[in-house]
Structures are given as C-alpha cells and as structure tokens.
Structure 1
C-alpha cells in the first residue's frame, strides 16, 4: 500500500471518530489515563494499529540523551495522537505534540482534549509536518 495524503487524511478521520465515540460514552471530567485506556480498546475494535505510550529517542548534537519522552499513541507509524483532559489547550500542549511529530518524523499529529462538551468542534486540532507535504496526494 502506498502512503498518500488521502490515506493519512482518511486515517485521521477514523482516529477522530474513535475519540468521539469514547467521549460520547464517557463524557468530560475524567482523568486522561481513563480516556487513554478506553481509546486503546476503541482503536483495537477498529483494527487500527498503534503503539501506546511510545518512548521517543532523543538526541542532542548527535548524541543520545538519557531522558524519557513519550507520546500517547503512534498510529500506524504515521500519526502522533496526543491526549489531554484539560480546561483548554495551551501553546505548550501544541508545542509538545508538534515536537513529538517532528522527533518521530511522521506526517501528521492530532491533539485531543477530552475535557470539552463537544469534542468535534472544540476538542481537537491537527498538525501536518513537512513529511506530509512531500507525500503524493492520492
């Protein structure tokens, strides 16, 4: 299978729908870890491959640094999915998500906040990297 912008956008839609399903059942106001565990089950039901709490290797000036950098999900080695349960997104959440995307050299990232009334309209943001722009459209 060829990885295209269209494929990644369709996968993004499926991931967002999985998040909405979890949010529809649980609602806002729970700890991030609860959403994380339920989303693992939802992604499994949808046959979407993922890595959970993936440790990201970190280098400084070409040397590995012994530090713990983890993203919540890496979906099909293409999309970082970062979960939050906060009153609102702050720039630090956006920067963290984009840094994970760039460190893993993946085309896209999704930042989701489960502590909202309507996840579709106010609870998620997507970001693309330079890797996405280099992919064929379809």
Structure 2
C-alpha cells in the first residue's frame, strides 16, 4: 500500500474516532483510539515509538518519540490543543527526515470539525 493509500485509511479512522469521541479529551485517548481503529483495519500501528539519534560521533538514546507509525510508512502526530503552533509542523518534518519517511499526518482532535485538524506534511528531501 502506498503512503497516499495509507493516509486515506488513517484519515478515515481519525474521522471515526472524532465522530465517536468529539473534542476535549487527552491526546493519549485519541492516539489509543486511533491505533485501535487502524488495527481493526488490519494495519500495523506502532505507538509511542522511542528512537535514538545519531549526532556526529555519538548516539543519543531515547532522543525522540513518535506517536504512531503506520505500516512503517506514515508518521502520525496526534494533538489535542486549541491551536497548532508552527513548531509542531517542523517537529513532524524533523521526524520524517530522521526516519527517512515520506509522509506525516498531524492530526489535532481538539477541533469542532476534524477536517480542520488534519494536516499532511511531506518530506521532499527523501533519500531513495
């Protein structure tokens, strides 16, 4: 399945979660519910993946934590905030670059309409 096909399924699952839970809950609630929905679709969804970072000659263990990686192709960052700060978009792009992934989804569940909380972030500097 391509990244775009996966993103379609992830967005559908996020819409289902938002329809059932609505806004106002903790991020962990939405992340766990989204992971559950993705797994019921037969997709692999790794949660709270802690990864090391190579910096010059050293390795920094536990350098960053990704909310979800779906099918080892799409990174999903889950938020439940009033407003997305611009640095959060940069955070997702950094995760994409560090893991050499092409596509990330930033999903803010604290919106009246979930479609306003879904943002695609593309790593155009991918090493293929």
Could you say which TM-score interval applies, normalised by the shorter chain? over 0.9
Alignment TM-score, normalising by the size of structure 1: 0.86
> 2:39 aligns to what?
44
1:95 has 2:90 as partner = yes
TM-score between the two structures when normalised by the length of structure 2: 0.92
Preserved CA contact (<8 Å) 1:20 1:119: yes
Structure with more relative contact order (C-alpha pairs < 8 Å, separation 6 or more): 1
Shift of 1:39: 1.1
Q: Say how many residue pairs are matched.
A: 127
Shift of the alpha carbon at 1:41?
Answer: 1.1
Q: 1:22 aligns with which of 17, 22, 31?
A: 17
Higher strand proportion, which one? 2
What residue in structure 2 maps to residue 84 of structure 1? Answer: 79
Moved over 3 A (4+): none
Pairing partner for 2:99 from 81, 100, 104: 104
SS for the counterpart of 1:57 is strand
Aligned-residue offset at 1:114? 0.2
Unaligned regions of 5+ residues in structure 2, if any? none
